[in-house]
Structure 1
Amino acid sequence: MVYQYARLGAKILITARRENRLKEVVAKAMSLGAQEAHYVAGDMGKAEDCERTIQTAKEKFGRLDYLVLNHAGSSFGPISERVTKLQTWDEDLDMDFYVDFINVNMISYVRLASLALPLLKESSGHITVMGSLGGKMTFPYFTYMSTAKFGLDGFFSSLRVEMMKTNKNVTVTYAVIGFVATEGSVKMVKKLPDGEKMLESAAPVNETAQAIIRGGAIRAREIYVPSYTWLISKIRQLPDWLEDYIVLNL
């Protein structure tokens, strides 16, 4: 997404934990046409790093038009391991990991948005939230992810209507994302039965990034990538017995 914004000539601030990687991304963003590109090396699971990120955006740009919330922290590795082993919740009751996971994947999203709201209200800005198909329906082996993504949908949908009701003119897009061919996702899926076949349905990374940015630009309430996520997200509206049958046989 950084590279897509760069091609549009945006001023960009990114954050992650690996400073060397951030430097590489910033350099490439500038080569692609970004007006400015800056970074904050930090851990979004820490309140002080969230605060430093938004403060840096204010200092560098004096305003904020788009806030894109899209981080997963150190949790991806343990989660992918649970999925590939097909572990159910009762087989690995790690509450410390659960609390940390929710902090990184839900609480920090809320914290960043809350810190950014004063700037976004000044610019009539927009928030794009990286959700998931796992935030619209339940899947086995995804208890951790479903908690965070359902929570994000609930919070940011409520925030959206609050902004509308009080005429704050800050809009929110929730991105319902399915299987995208990122490096981490591909590695995880290859370990699953019929994983190679599953890769055929993966959405390309660049096309996904473009769809997310387009959805934010037109201030869509929700976007669905790949397109099949729209249909699958409606399964919960079916009778219970049919929903259970479909989910258990996916």
Structure 2
Amino acid sequence: LEMLQGKRVIVTGASKGIGEQMAYHLAKMGAHVVVTARSKETLKKVVSHCLELGAASAHYIAGSMENMTFAEQFVAQAGKLMGGLDMLILNHITNTSMNLFSGDIHLVRRSMEVNFLSYVVLSVAALPMLKQSNGSIVVVSSKAGKMASPLVAPYSASKFALDGFFSSVRMEHSVTKVNVSITLCILGLINTDTAMKAVSGIINIDASPKEECALEIIKG
């Protein structure tokens, strides 16, 4: 893991849960970190803790991934702050809860835009920098993107889309000799506040610890 010392890393959805824990692990390894989420106040605390833990540098840029212009500009700003990019960790999702699908098209559209389309926008914006550094894209996905389950139709659709898109691009990179690796992380139930709230009273299985999960993602 010393390999990550001095590496320049973006983590999205980093104000809580797995994203926050990944930022802390990267900080301990001495990486340069730029974190993003919607909450400026929470991100300030995350950055402050990253610096305490030994990050080579730590910055935050707050904004919503519903806004594709923000997504694109965020990558450019992060690249400027760190002088390039070695790793893009895509981890954010829109607010989601477990419900029967009631025909809410707006929810489907928002899930697809935030959980899928913004990932594409971010990766396209980051690719020139990642090509220069022979870097990597890490996509945090879910079992719900490999296997259908009830009560999460819009979320599941967006995660299936991630798998289809990034698995396809990974093959293209191999054929065209683009030296940027793409890793899809397929997670089960993790004990983040968001996940625990969503499954409360619906699913009764043991969740895995978010700290360990975050470390495994970074280790690849």
TM-score (norm 1): 0.77
Greater helix share, structure number: 1
- Alignment counterpart, residue 79 of structure 2, candidates 58, 72, 79: 58
Tell me how many residue pairs correspond in the alignment: 199
Q: How far is 1:105 from its partner? A: 0.6
- Alignment counterpart, residue 108 of structure 2, candidates 98, 104, 116: 98
Distance in 2 of aligned mates of 1:8 and 1:43: 28
Amino acid at match of 1:50: A
Q: Does 1:21 align with 2:8?
A: no
Question: Relative contact order (alpha carbons < 8 A, sep ≥ 6): 1 or 2 greater?
Answer: 2
Q: How far is 1:189 from its partner? A: 2.4
Note the aligned Cα RMSD (angstroms). Answer: 1.1
> Which deviations, in whole Å up to 9, do the C-alpha atoms of 1:187-207 show, x marking residues without a partner?
222222xx5x42xx2110110
Provide the residue aligned with 1:175 in structure 2: 185
Provide the residue aligned with 2:3 in structure 1: none
- Kindly indicate whether the alpha-carbon contact (under 8 Å) linking 2:107 and 2:154 is maintained by their aligned counterparts in 1: no
- Alignment counterpart, residue 211 of structure 2, candidates 206, 211, 220: 206
Flag structure 1 segments of 5+ consecutive residues without an equivalent.
216-250
Q: How far is 1:52 from its partner? A: 2.0
Distance in 1 of aligned mates of 2:151 and 2:179: 38
Within 5 A, what are the aligned runs for 1:101-120?
101-120=111-130
- Alignment counterpart, residue 150 of structure 1, candidates 160, 178, 182: 160
Distance in 1 of aligned mates of 2:178 and 2:54: 32
> Which deviations, in whole Å up to 9, do the C-alpha atoms of 1:170-202 show, x marking residues without a partner?
01000000000001112222222xx5x42xx21
Provide the residue aligned with 1:229 in structure 2: none
> Which deviations, in whole Å up to 9, do the C-alpha atoms of 1:200-225 show, x marking residues without a partner?
x211011000100011xxxxxxxxxx
Q: How far is 1:56 from its partner? A: 1.1
C-alpha spacing 1:55/1:208, structure 2 compared with 1 (3 Å): same
Give the match's secondary structure for 2:61: strand
Give the match's secondary structure for 1:127: strand
Larger Rg: 1
- Kindly indicate whether the alpha-carbon contact (under 8 Å) linking 2:173 and 2:180 is maintained by their aligned counterparts in 1: yes
